[in-house]
Every structure is written in structure tokens, then in C-alpha cells.
Amino acid sequence: MKRQDFHRKLTERWPETGLDEDCENGLVVPVEAIHDIMQLLRDDPETECDYLDFITAVDHPPEHMHVVYSLYSLGKQHRIQLKVIVDRDAPTAPTVSHLWTNAEWNERETYDLYGVVFPGLKDPRRLLMPEDWEGHPMRKDYLHANLASKPD
């Protein structure tokens, strides 16, 4: 399936689904429907996206943060990327860790580096940084005492 086929399939139930202009294989989907969309893409025999590549986020200050999901179908060999746009001050997206087990660590990493909270995640600790770390390093406005100033 191509992106247009995914788009056509999703707009039947979620008409606000749009094409992602930044990514040639991406769709922008509403954040409140992400759980149902993921369930459909995984279980529908036409899409059959049984493999979750990764979850990550992209920081777009000052207002938005994008959470990106990449899905792949091992049987049908097609790939689709879904993007949800969340509020940067309180980024929240529902967890999908009960659909794919590896989403658990991906979501922990995304929380660790970007501060996106995934309600429903069983173990929402940090993954990479030390547990007592403050802040989320991949945000564009991140500052830390360990960062040295660059020479002009």
C-alpha cells in the first residue's frame, strides 16, 4: 500500500487525517484517535502493520511538538509514518505499548529526551539518562551546566 491508500483508508473514519508535507511517506493524524488508528493499522488484514519501527518526537518551538510513529508490515513490506501534533508546554500522547511491546522502551526514551508524557505506560521511568536527571536534553531550548560555551 502507498501513502494515498493509507490516507484513503483512514479518512473514512477520521476525516481530519492529512498528508504530511514534511515527509513523503507520512500522515498527520489527530492525537486523540491515535490509539484506535494504531489498532486498526495493526489488525486490519489490508494494512497488517505488525512491526513498530520506532517512536520519536520532533521539537518545534515555540508551540508544537510532533510525536512520530513509524510502522512496517513484515508480510506486505510497506511502511507508513504517522505524526501527531501536541502542545509543547504539556506534550501528551496515549500509549500504544499494549499493541507493540517494544513501544514501551521507545516511549520511555521519548519521554526521557523530549518530555512527552504517555499516559497508560506501565513503567514511565527515564531510559537513557540518569534517573535523577533534570530536563529533557533534545529540546531546542535545553541548557545544562555541562555544556561549554563555544568560541566565536
Partner 1 sequence: MGLIDKIPAYLEKTPGGGILMTPLNWAVNEVKASSLWYMLFGLACCAIEMMATGASRYDFDRLGMIFRATPRQTDLMIVAGTLTLKMAPRVKLLYEQMPEPKYVIAMGGCTVYGGPFYHDGYSVLKGVDKIVPVDIHIAGCPPRPEALMHGCIELQNMIRQEKLGQKRDRPGLRHMAAGTTRPSGLIVPDSMRIVQNA
Out of 24, 63, 134, 144, the residue judged to bind partner 1 by CB under 8 A: 144
* Residue 146 binds partner 1, judged by CB under 8 A: yes
CB atoms within 10 A of CB 132: 6
* Residue 142 binds partner 1, judged by CB under 8 A: yes
In whole angstroms, give the CA distance from residue 8 to residue 80: 13
* Residue 149 binds partner 1, judged by CB under 8 A: yes
Nearer to partner 1, 90 or 128 (CB): 128
* Residue 4 binds partner 1, judged by CB under 8 A: no
Residues 6 or more apart whose CB falls under 8 angstroms from that of 45 comprise none
* Chain centre to alpha carbon of residue 51: 14
* Residue 147 binds partner 1, judged by CB under 8 A: yes
* Residue 127 binds partner 1, judged by CB under 8 A: no
Find the farthest-apart pair of alpha carbons in the chain and give their distance in angstroms, rounded: 57
Hey, what's the cell of 144? 545544562
Nearer to partner 1, 105 or 142 (CB): 142
* Residue 150 binds partner 1, judged by CB under 8 A: yes
